[in-house]
Amino acid sequence: MKKVLVITSGGLDSTVLLYQHVVAGDYVRALGVNYGQRHQIELQYAARNAHSLGVPFTIANMSSLAELLPGSSQTSVSVPVPEGHYAAENMKATVVPNRNMILLSLAIGHAIAHGCNHVSYAAHAGDHAIYPDCRPVFADAMDAVAQVCDWTPVRLLRPFIHMTKTQIVLEGNRLGVDFSQTYSCYAGQPGIHCGRCGTCVERAESFAEAGVKDPTNYESPDFFRTAKAKA
């Protein structure tokens, strides 16, 4: 049995990851991070999912990071949330500089303090084009560092690194994930997804490709079809 700390935002990918480790019979703790992102609605979903699975959950308050990492639509309200497909160039406005290295470093320390010898995060193949800290080469380097940063070595797990979001939806469906209890929208309207930001478009597209019923309440439910055609 692995002792695993799962980094969870409350979004679709990290929720499926949380379920995967629980169903596998691992000892699981979960960590959410408030890094000063545009909204923290996802973290409310993360807390509910962890509680429903009986997983200890902690939120790290790192909100001051937004002041140190401006210029992204996720950390600066003055930067509009881009709309369209993730393949579009404007999606780079959602990149937070070095975010995953910072969050993973925090998670590795938290894991060691709680006796976990693995940290798991949900980077997937669809992230690679936009987010450099979701690429396999980055994850491999962080895994190597995690094994020498402390007297207690930690392994970095990234089971979705070569999977598409469509495959993650299929995996979540197999695991019995309640997708209605996940939140992915960058715009941050309580109870509804905009349907137009990159993560909404990818979400809707993936459910359609997987042939899995999408329970998400979208403001613009068919926008993803046009966005896909233009990408």
Do 22 and 4 contact (CB within 8 A), yes or no?
no
Domain ranges of the chain: 3-230
What would the CATH number be for the domain defined by 3-230? 3.40.50.620
Question: What is the residue-wise DSSP string for 74-109?
Answer: TT-TTSPPPBS-TTSGGGGGGPPTTHHHHHHHHHHH
Q: Can you give the pLDDT at residue 123?
A: 94
Do 16 and 175 contact (CB within 8 A), yes or no?
yes
Q: Can you give the pLDDT at residue 94?
A: 92
pLDDT band at 230 (very low <50, low <70, confident <90, very high): low
Q: Above 90 in pLDDT, residue 30?
A: yes
Nearest-angstrom CA–CA distance, 5 and 15: 13
pLDDT digit string (tens) for 148-170? 999 999 999 999 999 999 999 99
Average model confidence (pLDDT) across the chain: 95
